[in-house]
Amino acid sequence: MLNKFGPSGSGEAQVQYLDGDFRVISPGTYVRCAVTGVQIPLDELKYWSVDLKEAYATPAAVLERHFPNAGTLKS
């Protein structure tokens, strides 16, 4: 199980993103996706960037952040 507080926190958590894990700095129940703004419950948080210090809701959001022009067709 990932490193988090129990249900005692409410609202948005402040999280330190580590390699393969994260540490809750300020308790809460969710973090926001840096790309979509959607709330990600801490127990469902799977994708983040250690370097950019941000969370992502889906693999597509990760790709959007790191390759923003990937969907653009070039002629």
Domain edges within the chain: 14-66
pLDDT tens, residue by residue, 39-65: 999 999 999 999 999 999 999 999 999
Instruction: Tell me what pLDDT residue 10 has.
Output: 83
Q: 4: pLDDT confidence band, cut at 50, 70 and 90?
A: very low
**Residues 55 and 33 sit within 8 Å (Cβ to Cβ):** yes
